[in-house]
Amino acid sequence: MPGIRRMKFALQAAGASLLVAALWCGAAIAPAHGADAVKVGFSMALTGSVAANGKQLLAALEIWRDDVNARGGLLKRPVELVYYDDQSNPSTVPGIYTKLMSVDKVDALLGPYATNMVAPAMPIIMQNERTTISLLAIGINNHFKYDRYFSMVAVGPKGPGAFSDGFFALAAAQQPKPKTVAIIAADAEFAKTAADAARINAEATGFSVIYDKTYPPSTADFLPVMRAVQASDPDIVYVAAYPPDNVGIVRAAAEIGLSPKMFGGAMIGLLVTPIKVQLGPMANGIIIGENFVPTLQTRFPGVADLLARYQAKAGPLGIDPLGINFVPFGYAAGQVLAQSVEGTGGFDDGKRAEYLRSHTFPTVVGDVAFGRDGEWAKSRMYFTQFQNVAPNDVEQFRSGSKQVILWPPDVKTGDIIYPYAKAKPQ
């Protein structure tokens, strides 16, 4: 992962110079409970390109904090969240984590959220020999190999490949089997990491990658991008992109009448409820990878209650009204942190890391056990297809009925609509 490698060495020197910037980047600290409070520190994307997701995760962690404090705190001390807005900007992150550790002197770390922000945090965390549980980041420890890093995301030992293995397994099962693939990705850490893994999965499944391009993160007009994809005439289009790009890509694809046999991928924006509602029927036929799906809530005790409480907060806060794909993982990260503290009787990062590696943790997203690289010991990704989505309707996404689970087979709730054009409104 050369992008992370470049970041590592460039940002090791950046932490000190960014410290002052971090002080002014938008602090948001929970009300203090006094000197004896347990300080849990993190950065969070509260503005910028992935803020829609970051705000959900913050709300989840606030619910977790309140639940812990209602039960008497951690080791009989109240929990306080100490966090700063990283603005969805990787360059702010080293300074924030430097401040959290050297100035705020937090007892424990979480995060950051998202691959793009976790990568630049790692050199600072490693230099200070701290333990962290990142939020929904992929492939981080492929390069860093840090034994105090743990990841709250369901990709498991498959790593970034989990964002595309089911996608290409579905493609390979179609008759006649499609042959060619176009891959497009933002020129950013998460998207490139997912696209690299998709390329490997595609070729391993017998597909020929005939188009493989990145676009600048600043891209606003996706018509030229999608016209170039269309010109290559692929059977399958795989996209790796963050939320704002997903809207532009789907709209551009609809405008030019893009009609591959399959369309989708690691389209994180399509996990965000307002984006789903905004795109409406244009999302029909798209297949995406997901960490969590609402139709399986009954398998995970506590998650329905958590989402109900989050949804009661979401309206007044003006954030994602459902929170299905992000909130459970934010809360679960807090649960795992708390169990590591209680299990070791303190905040020693080395002891907690060893405890995290050697135990299984009951959470709202099921039992979580970590492998040697800090990823989940078992993968648990789902691939769903948007089907029969109506315009301007939030409620249709609450139950998951408009996103049919196609893969893995043991939890399948419906059949793929193939080719992609058959799912589009006529």
Helix (H, G, I), strand (E, B) or coil at 24: coil
For the domain made up of 160-290+387-423, the CATH class stated in words is: alpha beta
Could you report the per-residue pLDDT of 323-354, keeping only the tens digit for each? 999 999 999 999 999 999 999 999 999 999 99
User: According to the model, what pLDDT value does residue 19 have?
Assistant: 44
What is the tens place of the pLDDT at every residue in 139-160?
999 989 999 999 999 999 999 9
- State how far Cα 199 lies from the chain centre: 20
Residues of the chain above pLDDT 90, percent: 88
pLDDT at 3: 45
Give how far the C-alpha of residue 206 lies from the chain's centroid of Cα atoms, to the nearest Å: 28
CA dist 302 to 74, 307, 348, Å? 20, 9, 29
| Domain covering 2-154+303-369 in this structure, CATH number | 3.40.50.2300
**Spans of all domains in the chain:** 2-154+303-369, 160-290+387-423
| DSSP annotation of 359 | -
Q: What is the mean pLDDT of residues 169-192?
A: 96
pLDDT of the residue at 424 = 83
Burial zone of 12 (CB within 10 Å; 0-12 exposed, 13-18 middle, 19+ buried): middle
Place of tokens 């002891």: 351
- What one-character-per-residue DSSP string does 29-74 give? EPPP--TTPEEEEEEE--SSTTHHHHHHHHHHHHHHHHHHHHTT-B
Cα 3 from Cα 119, distance rounded (Å): 9
What mean pLDDT comes out for the span 96-122? Answer: 97
| 2-154+303-369 and 160-290+387-423 in the same fold | yes
